[in-house]
Chain A
Amino acid sequence: MGALMAEDDIYIGPLFDLFNLRFGPEQTEQEFEAGGSSEIKALQDEFDIFQQGRTFVESAKLLGLGGLHNNRAKNRWFSLLTWLARVPSDQDGETGDQRIVNALIKNFARKSPLPCFMKAHDSRGPDGLRVIVCEDKPIFYIDRTYLTISLPMAPKVPPAGKGAKKKSKK
């Protein structure tokens, strides 16, 4: 996402990892389920972390999903997540942000929610400039169905809306 993360593009992978660890499969070998999607479900049940009218980026802040040690990368990541409200999704009538929030609300309302996996797809390709959410098995060596969230990304391509004003002035 060259236009938003710029030289911090290199941190997108670790930021995905942060989400994927927090939302990943729970630790099932313990006396009780903890961590991963179990932790997020408990937090959702208690605090409604994801809710209508609250953007995904606000929930991400509550969950500390921007990392700890690089404020610039964190701020840019949160800008990118904010931008998702301005791109479409694979669901008619929902922005990318609404699509993610609604899918997470629905998932964590289940008794046994799916772990979640966040990744990127090339927005210049057939999947296009839109957020895509589906249930699949995104990690071939983990035989587990996830709720997969795919964000549109591309190198040095201005995201939808960004720069449009400048162009219109020319």
Chain B
Amino acid sequence: MCAAVAARELAPPGDGGLSEIYAGIAAYYSAKIVRFGTTPEGVDWTCQATQEMRFVQLLKLCDFASPFSLNDCGCGYGALIAYLDRRHGDCAVDYLGIDVSGAMVRRARRLWRDRCNTAFTLGHASPRTADYAIASGIFNVAQDQPRHDWERFVAASLDELHRSTRRGFAVNFMKLPAGVTGRRGLYTTDTASWARYCASRFNAAAEVHDGYGLMEFTLIVRKL
């Protein structure tokens, strides 16, 4: 059997009143992939190099010494797969991509249809529990959402990543520069707040990684 999971289109669990936010995210990224195709620009990154630098940081979560399962939340067209194959091709990774954009999931399925241990599902929740999960850039583009509402989405997403993983998860955030007002439409935050949230709520070890040249940081949450 090729795909490690039967990626079912499950009815999403209660979305906590976030359906409008999910719809906004889906519309935003569907427009991007239609405009730019399966390229970094199609998932709103500036280039392949910075897109993959984020993968480098997020995957510090994982132990590549033995096979594992990985959920990729906000997977886009599955760019992570190409990176995994190139840099970690000797480790079997059972991959499930999850995205709220139907257009994105369709393109991803087409792009990776011949790859084993690979599946995609539409929605904001994972239909399976995996060893690890990562989410790259899903908290950045808040569009016109009030900060309070967007932070409810961030919290719900972190809860979901915790619920659907056995060993831990990793996410990234744009950093709020000192003394600078955040850019309209983008969500920026300090390095401590969400690390504290994860450590206390999930009884986990939360590590902040920064200093990799981008104005952002990666939060790695390992379950104790």
A residues touching B (Cβ–Cβ < 8 Å)? 27, 29-35, 38-43, 46-47, 49, 62-65, 68
B47 at the A interface (CB under 8 A): yes
Number of interface residues of B (CB under 8 A): 22
Closest to A26 in B: B213
Q: How far is the CA of A31 from the CA of B179 in the complex (A)?
A: 11
Bound CA–CA A27/B213 (angstroms): 10
Cα–Cα, bound, A43→B55 (Å): 12
- B213 A40 Cβ-Cβ under 8 A: yes
CB distance from A92 to the nearest CB of B (A): 31
Residues of B near any A CB (own CB < 8 A): 36, 40-41, 46-50, 52-53, 56, 175, 177-179, 210-216
Supply 8 A–B pairs (Cβ within 8 Å), ascending by A.
A35-B213, A35-B214, A38-B213, A39-B50, A42-B53, A63-B47, A64-B47, A64-B49
Give the distance in Å from the alpha carbon of A65 to the alpha carbon of B46 in the complex: 9
B178 A29 Cβ-Cβ under 8 A: yes
A-B pairs, 5 with minimum CB distance: A42-B213, A64-B47, A39-B213, A34-B215, A43-B49
Q: Known contacts being A42-B53, A43-B49, A46-B56, is A68 close to B41, with CB within 8 Å?
A: yes
Query: How many residue pairs bridge A and B at CB < 8 Å?
Result: 59
Distance of B140 from chain A, by nearest CB (Å): 15
Closest to B216 in A: A34
Tell whether, in the assembled complex, residue A47 and residue B52 are in contact, meaning their CB atoms are under 8 Å apart: yes
Given A34-B215, A39-B214, A68-B41, are A62 and B47 neighbors across the interface (CB < 8 Å)? yes
Measured between beta carbons, the chain A residues less than 8 angstroms from B46 are 64
Q: A39-B214, A40-B213 are in contact. Are A30 and B177 (CB under 8 A)?
A: yes
Q: Considering the chains assembled together, what is the distance between the CA atoms of A63 and B47 in angstroms?
A: 5
Is the beta-carbon distance between B48 and A62 smaller than 8 angstroms?
A: yes
The CA-CA distance from A35 to B212 in the complex, in Å, is 9
B36: which A residues are within 8 A, CB to CB?
68
Return chain B residues, CB-CB under 8 Å to A62.
47-49
Contact among A29, A41, A64, A68 for B213, CB-based, below 8 A? A41
Query: Are B215 and A63 within 8 A (Cβ)?
Result: no
Task: Say yes or no: B210 contacts A32, CB within 8 Å.
Answer: yes
CB pair B213–A43 under 8 Å, yes or no, is: yes
Q: How far is the CB of B81 from chain A (nearest CB, A)?
A: 18
* B178:A64 contact, CB within 8 angstroms: no
Closest to B48 in A: A62
Q: Which listed residue, B52, B56, B179, B214, touches A29 by the CB 8 Å rule?
A: B179
Of B50, B52, B215, the contact of A30 (CB 8 Å cutoff): B215
- 11 further interface pairs, Cβ-Cβ under 8 Å (given A27-B215, A65-B47, A68-B41): A32-B210, A34-B175, A34-B214, A35-B213, A39-B50, A40-B213, A42-B53, A43-B53, A47-B53, A62-B47, A64-B41
Contact assessment for A49 and B175 in the assembled complex, using a CB-CB cutoff below 8 Å? no
- Please indicate the chain A residues that have their CB under 8 angstroms from the CB of B41 in the complex: 64, 68
Pick the contact of B178: A31, A47, A63 (CB < 8 A).
A31
How far, in Å, is B212 (CB) from chain A's closest CB?
Answer: 5
Which residues of chain B have C-beta atoms less than 8 A from A43's C-beta?
Answer: 49-50, 53, 213
A49–B215 contact, CB under 8 A? no
Q: Is the CB of B175 within 8 A of A30?
A: yes
